[in-house]
Amino acid sequence: MKEQKSRPADRRRLLYRSPGVSHFIGGLLVALSIWICGLSVSIGAETANPGSISLSGSDHWAFQPLRASKVPPVHNKAWPQNEVDSYLLAGMEEADLSPVADADPYTWLRRVHFDLTGLPPSVEAIESFVNQNTPEAREAVVDRLLASRAFGERWARHWLDLVGYADQIGTSNNVFAQHAWRYRDYVIDALNEDKPFDHFVREQIAGDLLEAESVEEQAAALTATGFLVLGDVEIVEADKAKLRVDIVDQQLNKVGKTFLAMTLECARCHAHKFDPISLRDYYAMAGFFHNTSSIYKTNRGVWSDVNLVELPETEEQKTQRELQTRTHERQLNDWRKERQEAQVRRAQLEDLLKGGTPSEAEQQKWTQERDERARRIGRLNQLIEHAEFFYPDVPKAHGVHDVDTPTDMRITIRGNPRALGDLVERGFLQVCQSGDTPDIPASQSGRRELADWVVSNPLTARVIVNRVWQKLFGEGLVRSVDYFGLPGDQPSHPELLDFLALQLREQDWSVKKLIRGLVLTRTYRLSSQGSERQEAIDPENRMLWRMHRTRLDAEALRDAMIYVSGMLKPSGGGPALPLEFVENVGGLNPADVNPPSFRFSKWRPEQQHERTIYLPVIRHTGQPGPAALRNVFDFPQPSQFTGQRTVTTVPTQALFLMNSLVVKQHAKALAERMLGEPGTMRGRLSYLYLVLLNRPITSEETKEAEWFLGKGESSDWEELCRAMLAANEFLMRL
């Protein structure tokens, strides 16, 4: 088995083993953290400005302002296509490396399709592109992909990996996150609209506090705050005070890791061991979430639930809902009426059976009818309860709002909500402060100002540029994509990182422009072929003299299989959980001790063929039904924070590709698709390779495949397709 991690473990280990950053010793740590807490209390009492403790490590590269640099000169002037290429080529030349050859147009096209949309190119797209293979043709391809809905469907999943997104609240009792899909759709839409990244950040931290210009914008902004609550919230925690501080901690962490690539949680109990983050920094920042309402205690037992916010509707949406309500109401009334009639009739039958002296035939007939009525009443009870629970309502999303009377937060000693220390004024990480920091209005939580601070500090732009880079080139310029702290990785090309970060700001934080610029570089066009000489110099390919090869992730693999078998069904988003089926929900009775819950008795037929991003994500088990492939191909647990997924190679994956029903079904559909094409076996074979591997078949391959197919019965084609769906070339993006 091989594992590819975002950073070289050996190097990091060394850093960790070095003296001065030795391991914690539990008992000592306890003492130490209490001591630190105590210390900060005493500082607070004695100094005028308790916040300003000088912090070592503030000269670390990641905290420095973005710096513009001159594009470095290169010897091979003909090679670079733009500044990005120049930065990279200069690095290569300095290390006595040179870029390998460009990839052939087929490889480039497949690469850019998978990277931008998570799907392979169609046969038509291949044919029209390879005939041209000009810069203009490449631009046209990239523009077409960026404008496609599939772009957002692909890149939203990258974002959801950072959010702990699931369609379930907590891990106990299958509590449904009925409206979580709105956040998922929000992310897809934001990416497809190319919402400026700074605004994307603001909406997710403080969407409820922003002014909106339209109803749609306001609804989007409110939905965006789902970022703060759609994580692993343990709503069954009986200790509500603990639950509250834990959620604050979780929200602060999420902001820290997602936007800043910093771990702030360490400073919950003590000053950060490696990074210049103090206990006070933590509580200053935590104060924003301390004043944010995210959950509430329900009437059911110990259960809490995540806040719901009502979303404003457009006139059109309102009209449509009213229409729906009328249909719903009609159906409900029909059922109620039917139930009443059935009840009356059942009572009649009871009387008939009890009183009088029915003949044997009558008794049998009445008994039978009574039992049928009873069964129907049982079913109607279910249907009515379900229809009442899911009565058309104002659209809602999981989100947050400010508390009524904001206050600063007290230090909780070792995170214990009952062991309180000093009050800490809300504020920002001292290490990233440059110039004035926004004032926090007394009547608000301050999340809006936090959002302003997040987008204005140098980390955020560097972090997102690096995240995008990693998704396109396979590894980040900073390989520890989720951690820019002192023991994290150093950027391989610091000037380039800043160049891109500055450019992102200049281009109004347009993520699409960033991506466009990167995939149109010469570097992105490089072949992935190795070179023994260069590998000896730069075994990890940090200088990017060739393209990194990557295995398709779970989503791309499943989506590609559905796509090539011709079964992909487009989707406009919407609820992931099929809660509309009565058999999929339980516990709707308000008197129940436990909250309403879901199960998967029934799927919508189209869910078998929708893109994976639209399938439910579950916290407490493996991923269910059509999403089962996720369990085998390194889909991260929703509670995991993963800017870069681990890639493992284990034979359970091979077993899945060899034996699972779902791969067999796709192979069958693909075989049928091939046999549905007119022409000879040879013609169909070249079509198959174009569909599956997005390149022409070679003569050697043709010969082999013809031999393999024998008479070319449909079962032979199925076997061939099963083999090819498991082929490395299909599983990988070269």
Partner 1 sequence: MKILNQMFGHGDGHGLRTNRRQFLQSAACGFGGLALNGMLGARAASVGSIGQSGLHLPARARRVIFVFLAGGPSQGDLFAPKEYITRKHGTAIDSPVGDDGQLRVGVAQFLPMAPIKPVRPRGQSGMMISDLLPHMAEVADDFCMLRAMVADNKAHFPAALQFHTGHIAEARPSMGSWMSYGLGTENADLPGFVTIHPPGDPRTYGAGFLPARHQGTPLRVPRNEKELAIENLTDPNATADTQRRRLDFLQRSNQRLLDHVGGDAQMEGIISSFELAFRMQTETPDLVDLSGESKSTLAMYGVDEGASDTNGRACLLARRLSESGVRCVQVTMDGWDHHGDILHALPNSCSKADKPIAGLIRDLKQRGLLDETLVLISGEFGRTYWSQDLSGTSPIEKHGREHQQESFCTLLAGGGVRGGCVYGETDDFGYKPVQGKVHLHDLHATMLHLMGIDHEKLTYPHHGRDFRLTDVFGQVIGRIIA
Residues 455-484 that bind partner 1 (CB under 8 A): 482-483
| Residue whose CB is less far from partner 1, 312 or 586 | 586
| Residue whose CB is less far from partner 1, 87 or 274 | 274
| Residue whose CB is less far from partner 1, 233 or 585 | 233
In the block, residue with structure tokens 């659209």: 395
Minimum distance of partner 1 from residue 620's CB (angstroms):
5
Q: Count H helices, E strands: the chain?
A: 28, 14
In the block, residue with structure tokens 């934080």: 509
Using CB under 8 A, which residues numbered 346 to 385 contact partner 1? Answer: none
| Residue whose CB is less far from partner 1, 483 or 499 | 483
In the block, residue with structure tokens 């209390």: 41
Using CB under 8 A, which residues numbered 562 to 601 contact partner 1? Answer: 593
Residue from 119, 187, 477, 734 touching partner 1 (CB under 8 A): that is 734
Strands 295-297 and 304-306: antiparallel
Distance between CA 39 and CA 26 in Å, rounded?
A: 19
Specify whether the CB–CB gap between 260 and 461 falls below 8 A: no
Distance between CA 312 and CA 448 in Å, rounded?
A: 20
Minimum distance of partner 1 from residue 734's CB (angstroms):
7
Using CB under 8 A, which residues numbered 501 to 530 contact partner 1? Answer: 528-530
Beta strands (DSSP E) in 575-723 are 585-586, 597-598, 647-648
| Residue whose CB is less far from partner 1, 39 or 347 | 39
| Residue whose CB is less far from partner 1, 26 or 676 | 26
Beta strands (DSSP E) in 341-481 are 396-398, 401-402, 409-412, 420-424
Residue from 67, 664, 665, 668 touching partner 1 (CB under 8 A): that is 664
| Residue whose CB is less far from partner 1, 175 or 380 | 175
Q: What's phi and psi for 92, nearest 5 deg?
A: -65, -50
* Torsional class of 96: left (φ above 0), alpha (ψ -120 to 50), beta (otherwise): left
Q: Structure tokens of 528?
A: 């992935």
Tell me if 249 contacts partner 1 by CB under 8 A: no
Minimum distance of partner 1 from residue 618's CB (angstroms):
10
Distance between CA 21 and CA 19 in Å, rounded?
A: 5
Distance between CA 305 and CA 308 in Å, rounded?
A: 9
Residue from 42, 340, 434, 652 touching partner 1 (CB under 8 A): that is 652
3-state secondary structure of 642: coil
Using CB under 8 A, which residues numbered 291 to 310 contact partner 1? Answer: 301-302
DSSP result, 491-552: PSSHHHHHHHHHHHHHTTT-HHHHHHHHHTSTGGGB-----HHHHHH-TT-TT-SSPPPEE-
Specify whether the CB–CB gap between 397 and 223 falls below 8 A: yes
Minimum distance of partner 1 from residue 725's CB (angstroms):
9
Q: What's phi and psi for 139, nearest 5 deg?
A: -60, -40
Tell me if 2 contacts partner 1 by CB under 8 A: yes
Tell me if 29 contacts partner 1 by CB under 8 A: yes
Minimum distance of partner 1 from residue 427's CB (angstroms):
22
Tell me the torsion sign for CA atoms 302, 395, 605, 666: negative
3-state secondary structure of 475: coil
Tell me the torsion sign for CA atoms 336, 337, 340, 345: negative
| Residue whose CB is less far from partner 1, 376 or 549 | 549
Using CB under 8 A, which residues numbered 398 to 457 contact partner 1? Answer: 414
* Torsional class of 457: left (φ above 0), alpha (ψ -120 to 50), beta (otherwise): beta
Q: Structure tokens of 560?
A: 């590609």
DSSP result, 356-421: S---HHHHHHHHHHHHHHHHHHHHHHHHHHHHHHT---S-EEE--EE-SS---EEEEGGG-TTSEE
Minimum distance of partner 1 from residue 586's CB (angstroms):
15
| Residue whose CB is less far from partner 1, 212 or 709 | 709
Residue from 254, 257, 280, 695 touching partner 1 (CB under 8 A): that is 257
CB within 8 Å of 140: residues ≥ 6 apart: none
Using CB under 8 A, which residues numbered 313 to 352 contact partner 1? Answer: none
Distance between CA 77 and CA 532 in Å, rounded?
A: 25
Rg (CA), the chain: 30
* Total residues interacting with partner 1, rule: CB under 8 A: 100
Taking contact as CB under 8 A, which single stretch among the options 6-14, 185-193, 499-507, 575-583 is the one that binds partner 1?
A: 6-14
Minimum distance of partner 1 from residue 593's CB (angstroms):
5
Minimum distance of partner 1 from residue 652's CB (angstroms):
7
Site string for partner 1, 606-645 (x = CB under 8 A): --------------xxx--------x----xx-xxx----
CB within 8 Å of 57: residues ≥ 6 apart: 274, 275, 276, 431, 486
| Residue whose CB is less far from partner 1, 103 or 191 | 103
Minimum distance of partner 1 from residue 651's CB (angstroms):
4
| Residue whose CB is less far from partner 1, 622 or 679 | 622
* Residue 341 one-letter amino acid: E
3-state secondary structure of 320: helix
Site string for partner 1, 266-285 (x = CB under 8 A): x--x---xxx----------
How far are the Cα atoms of 228, 232, 256, 281, 639 from residue 249, in angstroms, in the given order? 11, 12, 10, 13, 14
Residue from 651, 676, 678, 711 touching partner 1 (CB under 8 A): that is 651
Using CB under 8 A, which residues numbered 528 to 557 contact partner 1? Answer: 528-532, 535, 539-540, 549, 551
Using CB under 8 A, which residues numbered 669 to 728 contact partner 1? Answer: 700-701, 704-705, 708, 719-720, 722-724, 726-728
SS (H, E, C) 672-705: HHHHHCCCCHHHHHHHHHHHHCCCCCCHHHHHHH
| Residue whose CB is less far from partner 1, 171 or 178 | 171
| Residue whose CB is less far from partner 1, 366 or 687 | 687
Strands 585-586 and 550-551: unpaired
| Residue whose CB is less far from partner 1, 82 or 531 | 531
| Residue whose CB is less far from partner 1, 25 or 423 | 25
Minimum distance of partner 1 from residue 28's CB (angstroms):
9
* Torsional class of 45: left (φ above 0), alpha (ψ -120 to 50), beta (otherwise): alpha
Taking contact as CB under 8 A, which single stretch among the options 18-26, 384-392, 504-512, 570-578 is the one that binds partner 1?
A: 18-26
User: CA nearest 173: which of 304, 297, 296?
Assistant: 304
Minimum distance of partner 1 from residue 234's CB (angstroms):
5
| Residue whose CB is less far from partner 1, 17 or 330 | 17
Site string for partner 1, 51-90 (x = CB under 8 A): ----------------------------------------
Q: Structure tokens of 512?
A: 């699409």
Minimum distance of partner 1 from residue 95's CB (angstroms):
15
Site string for partner 1, 208-247 (x = CB under 8 A): ------------------------x-x-xxxxx-----x-
* Residue 152 one-letter amino acid: G
Measured torsion, CA atoms of residues 45, 51, 57, 63, in degrees rounded to the nearest 10: 170
Taking contact as CB under 8 A, which single stretch among the options 15-23, 63-71, 378-386, 671-679 is the one that binds partner 1?
A: 15-23
Using CB under 8 A, which residues numbered 166 to 195 contact partner 1? Answer: 170-173
| Residue whose CB is less far from partner 1, 611 or 722 | 722
Residue from 389, 581, 656, 687 touching partner 1 (CB under 8 A): that is 656
